[in-house]
Amino acid sequence: MRIIRTENYQELSRQAADMIQAAIENKPDCVLGLATGGTPIGTYQQLVERYREGSLDFSSVTTFNLDEYYGVSSDQEQSYHAFMFEHLFRHINVSHERIHIPFGMPEDIEKHCHYYEQIIQDAGGIDLQLLGIGENGHIGFNEPARCLQADTHLVQLSQETIRANSRYFPSIAEVPKQAITMGVRTIFQAKKIVLLASGANKADMIGRMLDGRITTDIPASLLKLHPDLTIIVDREAGSRLDAIA
């Protein structure tokens, strides 16, 4: 495990983009696992800028997103499909056939989850998985629980996550209560994992994640067992790290 402490969000975003760029340069047909939410937006902006400057080529890259709201259509403004195209995909030369995001309105949810797992395997697995961390320690939408599911599945969102995500919706009542998410084993099978945390509201959870315990009450703590984990934090998110060093 490697921890990179940066001064601010801009430096965090640059560091994450550097790692993604290195993965693409080392393997032009690499498979990227991508995240949504506010934290990776700066990283995606960096990648778009580098593509426009001619220093990055996404033409052979394959992507898999972590999750999607259940019951939300791909063209809905709050969908993660819309998020990814707004912040990344429509600005770079990635082939639409190589973009994979769980479909929020499948006719058969179990069949769709199995299909998503299969196409990840068919692509050779994920080379680099980008993650954020929820204030309650979730990764993807794997919420704190007594037991965690291994593979892509339908999950009930916690009230904490619903409240946190309500800023993207007109009201909290309109936030979906369920989502389709990669499971912890799917995430863990990525060859490299890069977890980002920004802001004072993530400081407590980063401290708890790294305090030595591994527990399903903090799903992100399981990542400490991964052989190639990098955690990038800005000054605020990393403010409690000295206390546990």
Position 167 scores a pLDDT of 85
The structural architecture, per CATH, of the domain 2-235 is 3-Layer(aba) Sandwich (3.40)
Place of tokens 């430096």: 11
Which candidate in 65, 67, 112, 165 is catalytic? 67
68 carries an active-site annotation: no
Which candidate in 81, 112, 138, 226 is catalytic? 138
Position 164 scores a pLDDT of 86
Position 119 scores a pLDDT of 98
Which candidate in 117, 127, 143, 234 is catalytic? 143
Q: What is the dihedral of CA 177, 180, 183, 187, to 10 degrees?
A: -120
Position 22 scores a pLDDT of 98
What's the average model confidence in pLDDT over 125-144? Answer: 96
Which candidate in 57, 135, 136, 160 is catalytic? 136
Position 212 scores a pLDDT of 78
pLDDT category of residue 20 using cuts at 50, 70 and 90? very high
Provide the residue ranges of all domains of the chain, joining segments of one domain with +: 2-235
pLDDT category of residue 166 using cuts at 50, 70 and 90? confident
Q: How far apart are CA 186 and CA 76, in angstroms?
A: 26
Per-residue pLDDT of 173-209, as tens digits, reads: 988 899 999 999 999 999 999 999 999 999 999 999 9
Per-residue pLDDT of 23-58, as tens digits, reads: 999 999 999 999 999 999 999 999 999 999 999 999
pLDDT category of residue 111 using cuts at 50, 70 and 90? very high
Considering the entire predicted model, what is its pTM? 0.95
Position 149 scores a pLDDT of 93
pLDDT category of residue 244 using cuts at 50, 70 and 90? low
67 carries an active-site annotation: yes
Do the strands 153-156 and 67-69 form a parallel or antiparallel pair, or are they unpaired? Answer: unpaired
Give the closest residue to 187 by CA, choosing from 241, 238, 116. 116
Strand-pair partners of 65: 34
57 carries an active-site annotation: no
Mean pLDDT of the chain: 95
136 carries an active-site annotation: yes
Position 168 scores a pLDDT of 81
pLDDT at 245 over 70: no
Cα 159 off chain centre by: 20
Question: How much of the chain exceeds pLDDT 90, in percent?
Answer: 89
